[in-house]
A and B are shown apart, each in its own frame.
Chain A
Amino acid sequence: MAMLSNIVSIVENNWLLLLVGQYPNGPLGGIAATLILSVLGIALAFPLSVLFALATLSPWRVLRWPVMGLVYVARGVPLLMIILWVYFLLPILIGANVSGFSTMVVALVIYEAAFLSEVVRAGIQALPRGQMDAARALGHSHLGAMRYVILPQALFNMIPSIISQFVSTIKETTLGYVINVPELTFAAGQINNRLLTQPFEVYFILAIIYFVVCWTLTRLATALESWIAWRRSGAGNTAVLAATHAVAAES
Chain B
Amino acid sequence: MSNAAAPSAAPMIRFEGVNKFYGDLAALLDINAEVKKGEVVVVCGPSGSGKSTLIRTVNRLEEIHSGAVVFDGQNVHAKLGGSALNKLRSRIGFVFQSFNLFPHLSVLDNVMLSPIKVSGVGKTDARTRAMELLERVGLANKAQSFPAQLSGGQQQRVAIARALAMEPPAMLFDEPTSALDPEMVGEVLAVMRALARDGMTMMCVTHEMSFAREVADRVWFMDAGRILEVAAPGDFFRTPTHPRAQRFLTDLHAR
Contact = CB atoms under 8 A, between A and B. Distances in A.
Nearest to B123: A249
A138 B82 contact: no
Interface stretch (A50-58, A104-112, A146-154): A146-154
Interface string B152-167: 0000000000110010
Contacts of B163: 137-138
A242 B102 contact: no
A128 B100 contact: yes
Contact of B146 (A131, A149, A237, A248): A237
A112 to B, nearest CB: 26
B96 A134 contact: yes
B252 interface: no
Interface residues of B, number: 35
Interface string A121-156: 000000010110111111111101000110011001
A244 B61 contact: no
Most-contacted residue by chain B among A133, A139, A141 (CB, 10 A): A139
* Category for how many chain A residues contact B: 20 to 34
Contacts of A25: none
Nearest to A136: B89
Contacts, number: 88
A233 interface: yes
B57 interface: no
A26 B94 CA distance: 65
A130 B100 contact: yes
Contacts of A142: 82
A141 to B, nearest CB: 5
Contacts of B146: 234, 237-238, 241
B246 interface: no
A48 B149 CA distance: 35
Interface stretch (B15-23, B111-119, B216-224, B235-243): B111-119
Contacts of A237: 145-146, 148-149
Nearest to A129: B100
B83 interface: yes
Interface in A220-250: 232-234, 237-238, 241-242, 244-245, 248-249
B86 A139 contact: yes
Contact of B87 (A139, A144, A149): A139
19 contacts: A128-B98, A133-B61, A134-B96, A134-B100, A136-B86, A137-B94, A137-B163, A138-B114, A138-B163, A139-B90, A139-B118, A141-B86, A152-B104, A153-B102, A153-B103, A232-B103, A238-B146, A241-B146, A248-B104
